[in-house]
A and B are shown apart, each in its own frame.
Chain A
Amino acid sequence: MLTSLAIAVLVLLALQTIVVAIVAALRPTANIYVTIIVVSVTTAPLALLYGTHYVGEPLGSDGRLYFVLIHLALGGFLFHFMTLPDRSVTLRILVEVLLAPGQALSTRALGSRYGVKTMISSRLEQLSAGRFLEISGDRRIALTRKGRSFGRFVTAGRKLFGIASAN
């Protein structure tokens, strides 16, 4: 039983990963996290079908619910995994060095390829697209209500966990 469940987990994870990769290739500018959520939810009936017919003995109503939860949880893992290559500054630094001629890069060259201006401008664009802030023509930044809530949340979280400084 546990072996067939472990195989089922691998099948469901592979299914979601492949579908997400295909959708991302077809729509490269789409938000990858929205893609993962949509794929995970829309393929849940397939997981149910697979769990009901191909895992072994027939599943009861509770078992079917658990199977859908397993599928959605795997989508959640894919979501978290994606934050690593998509968001991590540290991983991007490693890739920049890997792609540099001779796989060696001066700190100055790293700064010009992936510097603070590029990083901040890009993040501000994303935060603006997410309606956390607005940037006016004279480059002033205004926090929206959503942005103030997020800022308050981060400030409270840092205080709660005793984080003095980050970034």
Chain B
Amino acid sequence: MIRLLLPLAGIVIFFLLSLVTVRILKPRQPRLFFLGYATLLLIVAAGVYVRLWPLASLDDGAGLLACLLLQTLMCLTMWNSFYSLLWGFSGGLMHDLYNEPDLRHVDRLVGSYEREAGLDRILSRRLPNLEAGGYIEVRDATIRLQLKGRIVALGTLAAFRIFSLGMGGGVNRLRDASAGR
């Protein structure tokens, strides 16, 4: 059981490194740092584990695997919390509603995301990122998928079908169904 302290220590270090990186270095792509830290800590954890508890039995092997999987899962949870809760759409809505009482009305909230001309606040942040990442091409206000984008879209569509997710994107499945999707 004491072996489970290893992933616990790993996640604490991951959190501290991530926090220091985001606060002090302020990188444009924090995810690359997160990925690097998670990989490095995984290697360190495996090294420390094998040194302390050599792989003499299946129990030891299962312990190593459990420690590494738990550490990775916790890093992923922290990472996902950072991007999904703090940067994500629902988190953003709750942030706005909590901090701006004037927006606590459906129409005013929707209005705060709309733009008089061009793309709304949600698409105007995402489309340039997708284009810069080589997933789409936008020409004459028309979006076309690049190879990378097509592969990701096909994978996503497969996940929609396999797990009965409707059309995903955080939209209620019943809402999609009523819209004939």
Interface residues of A (CB under 8 A from B): 1-2, 4-5, 9, 20-21, 24-25, 28-29, 32, 51, 55-60, 62-63, 65-67, 69-70, 73-74, 76-77, 80, 82-95, 97-99, 103-108, 110-111, 114-127, 132-133, 135, 139-143, 147-148, 150-155, 157-158, 160-163, 166-167
Contacts and interface: CB of A to CB of B under 8 A. Distances in A.
Contacts of A69: 4, 66, 69-70
A45 to B, nearest CB: 16
A63 B114 CA distance: 55
A141 B172 CA distance: 19
Contacts of B63: 62-63, 66
A23 B60 CA distance: 34
B104 A141 contact: yes
27 contacts: A1-B55, A9-B69, A29-B173, A55-B58, A62-B59, A63-B58, A63-B62, A66-B62, A84-B159, A89-B170, A91-B168, A94-B130, A94-B145, A98-B153, A98-B154, A118-B171, A121-B175, A122-B171, A124-B109, A143-B94, A143-B104, A151-B97, A151-B98, A154-B95, A161-B19, A161-B22, A161-B82
Contacts of A124: 93, 106, 109
A86 B92 contact: no
Given A86-B170, A155-B99, 9 more contacts: A5-B65, A87-B170, A98-B154, A103-B150, A107-B141, A116-B122, A124-B109, A142-B104, A154-B86
Given A20-B163, A108-B141, A151 B99 contact: yes
A87 B90 CA distance: 9
Contacts of B119: 107, 111
Contacts of A158: 86, 95
A85 B86 contact: no
A126 B133 CA distance: 30
A70 B168 contact: no
Name the prevailing secondary structure of the A interface residues.
helix
B33 interface: no
Interface string B1-29: 10010000000000000010011001000
Nearest to A150: B94
A24 B164 contact: yes
Contacts of B168: 85-88, 91-92, 95
Nearest to A162: B23
Contact of A92 (B4, B145, B171): B171
B51 interface: no
Contacts of B118: 107
B107 interface: yes
Contacts of A155: 95, 98-99
B156 A84 contact: yes
A98 B151 CA distance: 10
Nearest to A117: B110
A29 B91 contact: no
